[in-house]
Amino acid sequence: MSPISTAPATVRALEVPGARLHYEVRGEGPLVVLVGAPMDARAFAPLADLLAVDHTVLTTDPRGINRSPVDDPDQDSTPQLRADDVSRLLSHLDAGPAVVLGSSGGAVTALALVQTHPEQVHTVVAHEPPVEELLEDREQRHARTEDIIATYLSGDVTGAWRKFFAQANIALPEDACEAMFGGERDRQQVADERRWFEHELRATVRWQPDLAALRSASTRILVGIGVDSAGQSCDRASKALAAALGIEPTMFPGDHTGFAEDPDRFATRLRTVLRAK
């Protein structure tokens, strides 16, 4: 087991245009930012504790999720809006340039940040970004995403999740969706889930990366893929992004959520990757 920081996180909030961002800071040393979407700071806490032994680690709840309320609940959460939020947090902390590890929708956020504020980020690890605009079947995928959203908004929660996992090519046991998303559930979890389906999913998977801007940025860009994600949608999208940028994917332990399921192995791999040049 790797050493773990036992110092409590400093918890604060930052007012930004249209939202109040919950954020947490742990440790001391070079700055690492862990970004998710829709995952909030809690999902990254075990990894943050491991990295905080020798880094300052910033985690945050994305706008509209959990402890980061928004002024307009009907406003869509776009990658650019979320990137602007991360930029403001970095300016507020006055630390960096930073390493930014973004996972899933957070990886799209991190890439959007590189396009607008490369000076704030010296290394980005984009772990399994769902950049579907780079896939040949993007139009069919977008149509299925619209069907998934409509299914959820009709009230068929488990049906929407079944369609989502089928689209992601993630195999689950027959009754898994009912076990995870049926019956009584935490009210905050349901609120965050609804916001993701209604105001975040579409804008995230339809985001078009500016490949020229990413290629020319001073930021070191790594595209991470879980070794157990082979054949899944984010595996395909991540490989397409790496190919478009002319780089080889960087493999990490686990699958799409390897950072949360095995944070010790993930942290070890991340340290190795960051030391390499």
CATH number of the domain within which 123 lies = 3.40.50.1820
d(CA 161, CA 171): 12
Residue 193 confidence (pLDDT):
97
Q: What is the CA radius of gyration of the chain?
A: 18
Residue 111 confidence (pLDDT):
98
High-pLDDT (> 70) share of the chain, %: 100
Nearest to 192 by CA among 73, 72, 23: 73
Q: Which structural domain range is residue 149 located in?
A: 138-201
Residue 95 confidence (pLDDT):
84
Query: Is 105 part of a structural domain of the chain?
Result: yes
d(CA 36, CA 107): 7
- Residues of the chain with confidence (pLDDT) below 50: none
- Three-state secondary-structure class, residue 100: strand
Question: Tell me, what DSSP letter sits at residue 18?
Answer: T
Residue 96 confidence (pLDDT):
77
Is residue 122 domain-shared with residue 162, that is, in the same domain?
no
**pTM > 0.95: yes or no:** yes
Query: Is 1 part of a structural domain of the chain?
Result: no
How many domains, in total, are found in the chain?
2
Residue 2 confidence (pLDDT):
80
Is residue 16 domain-shared with residue 129, that is, in the same domain?
yes
Residue 89 confidence (pLDDT):
98
Task: Tell which of 201, 217, 236 closes a domain.
Answer: 201
d(CA 26, CA 165): 34
Pairing of strands 250-252, 220-226: parallel
Query: Is 3 part of a structural domain of the chain?
Result: no
